[in-house]
Structure 1
């Protein structure tokens, strides 16, 4: 990597000081106080660098808030320890404990939103913020299952990943956001591993698992906030509100990366979860 690239890397990310928390790499900022810490879980194929714009906004509006941005297994500085989602959740909890944090507000983007939901159902949590991840599969599940053979072939990136990415609104992001998305290099084993639940289970079974998790979250009185980039389908809203009454829903129009397209707005709603 050239010096110029290194300088650009540091300027764009604003997340330095990587530390290993258990088996996961991460960056911990802020100071311990009575506000619940934030744990940030990125989406599939990306890494903790994507939280740079949001962390900067938080530093301005929620100064000193304890924030742990993690690299999921097989991403960034974290090794290929496990892709099974239940094992990933346990590794995140191990990292939270290693960082000395209490019950966090778990913020997850894309597949990180699924992991955040699972985490709050199994471990102490003060809240969940799910960034643009529906919890039932629908057409996406069908697309993923049809893509499995191509993911095992030599042209998996052009035929699967690049086509998916083209529909995520990357071109509409600010320059920094585009660089953060485009700088990540996907691997077929990541996609196959993290999508294994979709390959192995029916949509109904997956919806049942998510409904059970949301039921636990609701019973524990843990707040749940879903941020979506488009007006949600009424049938999904009925399903979600039936599973976790009192869920907050925020629409931030744009692509699949609300923390990159609307970092100030996402930071503001996270401040609301300080109490």
Structure 2
């Protein structure tokens, strides 16, 4: 898979492969990480889907992409679209991990998309939203890393292969401005309004017939599964047991196989 380091729409990116009849893929990493997290998946894609056109981006403020004054998620989704447009990609399959899963969901509700793969990002806040709001004073203090490290402790990093553990622990920049910026919607929005916005986005995705795949590292709770299937009756839910919060690193071959086939049929084309 040939590749080149470039910038599109002001975002740093690695561009792989060439355009053909296969829908291009756009890979969006999680909060505090960067496009290096997709290395294992890219290697698997090169083996099973050679020369597929793939764009792996650094989110605003991450990796080699410039900082921004605001990281409102809708604005970030639009910034991703600027990069996709400048790269010349037509209706890509959007793949996102963690907060990237939320961003590609928002993206698909706003911009032409062939399919969505959400890697371990629940779209209901649940206890996480309560925790962030309770912890906001700490998050805004010099001790903000206490909160970040406590979250990492519950992400199943020790379940990953050694090389993947090293990637998670070293290829990250947990800056306070990123945590506050990308989590701002959670901090300032009531649960009811937050859920209503996600439902509107999923309704839009459903009405357009865009295939939506949710890939989890553990079995979703019955409540969350029921909610997601009620909003998106055609959703595909795949579980990679024992993958923790990083299914793309625990089993990159499995994820590569999943995303390689998304959006290749007639559904989801608009």
TM-score of the two chains, using structure 2 as the length reference: 0.94
1:270 correspondence with 2:259:
yes
Offset from partner CA, 1:171-195 (integer Å, 9 cap, x none): 2211221121111121011000000
Q: Deviations over 1:120-144 (max 9, x none)?
A: 0000000000000100100010011
1:242 paired with 2:235, answer: no
Gaps of 5+ in 2: 265-270
Work out whether residues 41 and 253 of structure 2, in 8 Å CA contact, stay in contact via their aligned partners in 1. yes
Distance of 1:166 and 1:31 partners within structure 2: 39
Change (3 A) 1:220 1:269: same
Q: What residue in structure 2 maps to residue 9 of structure 1?
A: none
2:195 aligned residue: 207
Q: 2:46 maps to which residue?
A: 59
CA RMSD of aligned residues (A): 1.4
Structure 2 residue 63 is matched with structure 1 residue 76: yes
Runs of 4+ in 1 over 4 A off after TM superposition: none
**How many Å apart are 1:60 and its aligned residue?**
0.3
Q: How many residues align?
A: 261
Of the three residues 16, 21, 36, the one matched with 2:8 is 21
| Gapped regions of structure 1 (runs ≥ 5) | 1-13
Match of 2:147 among 124, 144, 160: 160
- 2:93 paired with 1:112: no
Per-residue deviation at 1:17? Answer: 3.5
Give how far 1:16 is off: 6.8
Q: Contact 1:57/1:264 (CA < 8 Å) preserved in 2?
A: yes
| Structure 1 length-normalised TM | 0.92
Q: What residue in structure 1 maps to residue 18 of structure 2?
A: 31
1:172 and 2:159 equivalent? yes
Distance 2:67 2:5 in 1: 17
Task: Tell me the distance in 2 between the aligned counterparts of 1:58 and 1:274.
Answer: 15
Q: Distance in 2 between matches of 1:80 and 1:168?
A: 26
How many angstroms does 1:15 deviate by? 10
**1:44 and 2:56 aligned:** no
Partner SS, residue 18 of structure 1: strand
Give me the whole-angstrom Cα distance separating, in 2, the residues matched to 1:165 and 1:131.
17
- Aligned partners of 1:213, 1:93: CA distance in 2, in Å? 16
d(CA) in 1 for partners of 2:3, 2:133: 37
